[in-house]
Amino acid sequence: MTDSKLSVRSKNVPTDASLVCSSTKDGLNKVERLSDRSKGRADNLGEENLLCYKTEEQHSRVAVYVLNMREKPLMPTTPRKARFLLKNHKAKVVNRTPFTIQLNYATGETKKEITLGIDAGYSKIGFSAITKTHELIAGEVALRLDVSQKLVVRRMYRRLRRRKLWYRKPRFMNRTSSKKKGWLAPSIKHKLETHIRLIEKLKSFLPISKTIIEQATFDTQKIQNPEITGIEYQQGKLQGYEVREYILTKWGRKYAYCNMSNIPLEIEHIIPKSRGGTDRVANLTLTCRKCNQKKGNQTANEFGYPTIAISAKQSLKAVAFMNTVRKQMIKQLKCHRTFGYITKYNRIHLGLAKSHVNDAFVIAGGNTQFRSQSFTITQNRRNNRSLQTNRKGLKPAIRRQKYSYQPNDSVKCNQMVCRVKGIFNYGKWVRLVTSTGSIINSNVKKIKLISYGKGLCFNLNVSTLSRV
């Protein structure tokens, strides 16, 4: 018999002693005590109701997050207690990933102090929420890196649409949005909003009392040249040169791939822009038209010239992002901040490997807490743009209403959990991907929606973490 039937464990009882009920009262020994309103309810702050892993072998269990009747977050509970509440109709499921329930009866709202640590980044975000004894949730968010490419495609469609207009007032003098204070490029603004959206999402099912974000400032000049000092900051590589003349001088007026000269030249990207390359002079070289077409979308390393690929230094997009949004992020969230050198020192002191999850754990003030399983969060497009229709009463350009199911939604079909890949036959049939990777087609009447696959999608990692 375990101590789950007792609300309070006696401090004088040895931890290795078997618990035998010495009382004959039904209130103490009743299994259904969680749903018995006539008796005192088990408190939601007990160690057994959190991620309470008595041994390191049991630390792989995850918490069940709880909301009260007003949809306000309470302290998490264990899967066992959640099953009792659901079985006795004292709670209902409101979310599956992460698993969240909402109570159907009034309860106390005593809460522990929860600290959320955020390891902000350009491509990934680490997060960890901890109490004094346990880590309640942790994970890593993979940010979208295709926003810039989507904007290029949108510009192409917009320009094509404007060419077809019979009359349009001039608007080239109306572009003042970029002159507003605090304006951000759309791709950077999306990443900043993702940080804010993630924190709001975590606060929706956890009573977080304190948020700490790592703030970093980078010297882009020193990253490229560690020995730069003084006036050298004002004397860049292009001092006294024009871009074309600088590239000709750098490569000795010879073509990088064929060493030929005295033929028409072309300036080529060592790392193609479609692969994340930039227009920095360090990423530009000379080539002939034949080699340029033969190289195509490959990098110089893939094309067989690793020595040329070395000259293309690492992109500074991530550095520019952190320098741009670091102050705005702290200002909008009104949270506490820490610095990278503090995080690095504490992580090395605790003996943790370098990762976004571990950095977030250290940022939150973690040391001896029991770790939890981590989530991997992906972002999917919501596809909620306005649906365009043609003018002059013609047939709509695209559908007026959205279909019931969208790509990446989780559904149940023939007792199998599948993912929606696409919709066809005017929304009457869907194409599904099973857990084994096979593709099946099904009528919409034979499937049932489990969860939507838009926005921030939580996926629980199989691997577990050990206690520090």
Asked if 379 and 360 touch (Cβ cutoff 8 Å), the reply is: no
Q: Hey, what are 269's tokens?
A: 């990207």
Integer Cα distance of 454 and 148 in angstroms: 20
Contacting residues for 168 by C-beta, under 8 A, at least 6 apart: 162
- The model's pLDDT over 47-72, given as tens digits with 9 standing for 90+, comes to 334 333 333 334 446 789 999 999 99
Whether residue 53 lies inside any domain: the answer is: yes
Last residue of a domain, one of 313, 335, 357: 313
Query: 22 falls in which pLDDT band (50, 70, 90)?
Result: very low
Q: Is the pTM of this model over 0.85?
A: no
Whether residue 240 lies inside any domain: the answer is: yes
Which percentage of the chain shows pLDDT scores above 90? 29
For tokens 């959990």, name the residue.
417
Q: Hey, what are 177's tokens?
A: 């949005």
For tokens 């909402």, name the residue.
102
**For the residues of 143-181, what is the DSSP string, one character each?**
----HHHHHHHHHHHHHHHHHT-S-----TT---GGGST
Residue 199: closest CA among 116, 122, 142, 322: 116
Q: What is the pLDDT of residue 210?
A: 93
Last residue of a domain, one of 61, 78, 103: 103
Whether residue 309 lies inside any domain: the answer is: yes
Query: 177 falls in which pLDDT band (50, 70, 90)?
Result: low
Last residue of a domain, one of 103, 129, 164: 103
Q: What is the pLDDT of residue 321?
A: 80
Averaged pLDDT for residues 331-357: 90
Whether residue 467 lies inside any domain: the answer is: no
- The model's pLDDT over 66-110, given as tens digits with 9 standing for 90+, comes to 999 999 999 999 999 999 999 999 999 998 888 999 999 988 888
Looking at every residue in the chain, the average pLDDT score rounds to 77
Q: What is the pLDDT of residue 115?
A: 95
Cβ neighbours around 373 below 10 Å, total: 20
Q: What is the pLDDT of residue 42?
A: 41
For tokens 């013609």, name the residue.
394
For tokens 């950077």, name the residue.
188
Distances (CA, A) of 386 to 138, 383, 400: 35, 9, 9
Q: What is the CATH number of the domain that holds 300?
A: 1.10.30
Whether residue 250 lies inside any domain: the answer is: yes
Averaged pLDDT for residues 209-213: 93
> Apex CA 259: angle with CA 258 and CA 262, to 5°?
105
Query: 45 falls in which pLDDT band (50, 70, 90)?
Result: very low
* HSE toward the beta carbon, residue 9, CA cutoff 13 A: 15
Asked if 247 and 286 touch (Cβ cutoff 8 Å), the reply is: yes
Q: How, if at all, do strands 91-96 and 99-103 pair?
A: antiparallel
Tell me which amino acid residue 276 is: G
Integer Cα distance of 42 and 49 in angstroms: 9
Q: What is the pLDDT of residue 364?
A: 94
Whether residue 283 lies inside any domain: the answer is: yes
Asked if 379 and 194 touch (Cβ cutoff 8 Å), the reply is: yes
Asked if 408 and 419 touch (Cβ cutoff 8 Å), the reply is: yes
Domains held by the chain: number? 3
Parent domain of 263: 232-313
Question: Helices 340-350 and 356-363: crossing angle, nearest 10°?
Answer: 100
Whether residue 86 lies inside any domain: the answer is: yes
Residue 452: closest CA among 408, 402, 401: 408
Averaged pLDDT for residues 396-400: 54
Residue 207: closest CA among 35, 369, 45: 45
Residue 128: pLDDT above 90? yes
Q: Hey, what are 38's tokens?
A: 């006539």
Whether residue 445 lies inside any domain: the answer is: yes
